[in-house]
Structure 1
Amino acid sequence: MTPFAIDPAALKETLAATLGGLAKRIDLKLGELTVVVSPADYLAAATLLRDAPGCQFEQLLDVCGVDYSDYRDGGWDGQRYCVVSHLLSISLNQRVRLKVFAPDDDLPVVDSLTGLWSSANWFEREAFDLYGIVFEGHSDLRRILTDYGFIGHPFRKDFPVSGHVEMRYDPERKRVIYQPVTIEPREITPRIIREEKYGGLQ
């Protein structure tokens, strides 16, 4: 079942006509539309998607970060960090996904959408916290899920699974302290049962 009230191909044509050269690519796959824009055109494209007739995406449902560094087992050759937004038009019953790649892998920066949709506030803080993506123009960009003293960004592909430090309560100092991780890394190999007639099945 398609999530669109209208034909997705017709919406793709509307998006192409509305965005023109602002859209680097518009993909239609599995009944879902994805628009890819450059960082310089991100705000202008988002504004058109919100306001233009035939688009009218009044609601921003989600913003998330993506780290493509290990995509296709390291076969990715584009920018590392991407910001993905999901937009909904209630009035026209249609959806679109908007993607923008940060131009600098060392310091990923893209514009904030909080001036267009207030719902972007906490989503962008989450992407900043977990991926280290900086949203220029965000009025309160600070961590939202990890502790204030947390080092690094835990959803980056190169972040160690056990982290860098752990915290515990020290009864002698009567406060919470940070210390190096004491968990020893180990590999768990799942048990594979290869009996021909396991469970009475032929």
Structure 2
Amino acid sequence: MASRLDTLAQALQDTLGARLKSFKRALGELTVTLDPADLLPSMRQLRDHPALRFEQLIDLCGVDYLTYKDGAWEGKRFAVVYHLLSLTHNWRLRVRTFAENDDFPVVDSVVDVWPSANWFEREAFDLFGIVFTGHPDLRRILTDYGFIGNPFRKDFPLSGHVEMRYDPDLKRVVYQPVTIEPRENVPRVIREETYADMGGDLDAQRASNR
């Protein structure tokens, strides 16, 4: 007897066919990859086909693969990942699509398919700089309107590009180039070969303090 995951896998293959660019099964979950050109028609089928019925989008996020696998990643840099839920069949699916252009990542909006995608797409736009074509109100949602850059990109500096302060002369908040000097914080490492000696020194110190 086929498991529920087997049934879902077969339904996906029967419905989407060659549009499935990759199909991965791991840890009791299915992940499929679609070309951005096939995204909207495929998403509508995932929602409407009676064998699938993914009525709900429960999450959407951007991903930056710039440093993935220690820089050995050779695919496209930016992806959008969707987490879908079927209330009818009580199963879940992860869908991934990669933006074609690394310098200006663009993916079709799925707001018309699942209205819940609205703020999720705004978040991915704000934090990763991914543009969603057809979104009704694509603007920043977490950072301020004067913010420069996209803070979840792997090459975004920890100190940022600008900082905000109140100007008493202008009597308003202003932005200025960041004044924080970047520095690397190297954690202190305790080597195993000296750990025992350090423990003995600590014991002696405790004894002398009694």
Contact 1:9–1:28 (Cα < 8 Å) also in 2: no
Between Structure 1 and Structure 2, the one with more helix by share is 2
1:191 CA displacement: 2.6
Cα pair 1:16 1:26 within 8 Å, conserved? no
1:189 to partner: Cα distance: 2.2
Q: Point out where structure 1 has 5 or more consecutive residues left out of the alignment.
A: 1-5
Aligned to 2:88: 91
Any unmatched runs of 5+ in structure 2? 204-210
Q: Percent identity?
A: 62
Aligned partner of 2:123 among 123, 126, 133? 126
| Matching residue of 2:208 | none
* Correspondence list, 1:182-201, <5 A: 182-194=179-191, 195-196=195-196, 198=199
Match of 2:157 among 156, 160, 177: 160
Deviations 1:46-105 (A, max 9, x none): 111111122111100011100111111111111111000000011211000010001111
- Map Cα deviations across residues 20-64 of structure 1 (whole Å, 9 max, x no partner): 112111110111100100011001111111111221111000111
DSSP-derived class of the 1:196 partner: helix
Looking at structure 2, the residues matched to 73 and 157 of structure 1 have their Cα atoms a distance apart, in angstroms, of: 12
Look up the SS of the partner of 1:189 in the other structure.
coil
For residue 180 of structure 1, report the CA deviation from its aligned partner: 1.3
Residue aligning to 1:3? none
| Equivalent pair of 1:23/1:45 in contact (CA under 8 Å) | no
Q: Read off the aligned partner of 1:78 and give its amino acid letter.
A: G
TM-score w.r.t. length of structure 2: 0.88
1:69-88 → structure 2 map (5 Å cutoff): 69-88=66-85
Partner of 2:206: none
Which of structure 1's runs of 4+ aligned residues deviate more than 6 A?
none
Whether the aligned pair in 2 keeps the contact of 1:110 and 1:134 (CA below 8 Å) is yes
For 2:22, give the aligned amino acid: R
Instruction: Give, in whole Å, the separation in 1 of the partners of 2:45 and 2:12.
Output: 9
**Secondary structure in 1 aligned to 2:107?**
strand
Alignment pair present for 1:113 and 2:110: yes
Amino acid of the residue matched to residue 132 of structure 2?
A: F
Counterpart code for 1:160:
P
Structure 1 position 104 matched with structure 2 position 105: no
Which amino acid letter does the alignment assign opposite residue 188 of structure 1? N
Name the larger-Rg structure: 2
How many equivalent pairs are there? 195
- Residue 107 of structure 1 and its aligned partner are, at CA, apart by 1.2
Counterpart residue identity of residue 96, structure 1: L
Tell me, in whole angstroms, the C-alpha distance in 1 between the residues paired with 2:189 and 2:101. 43
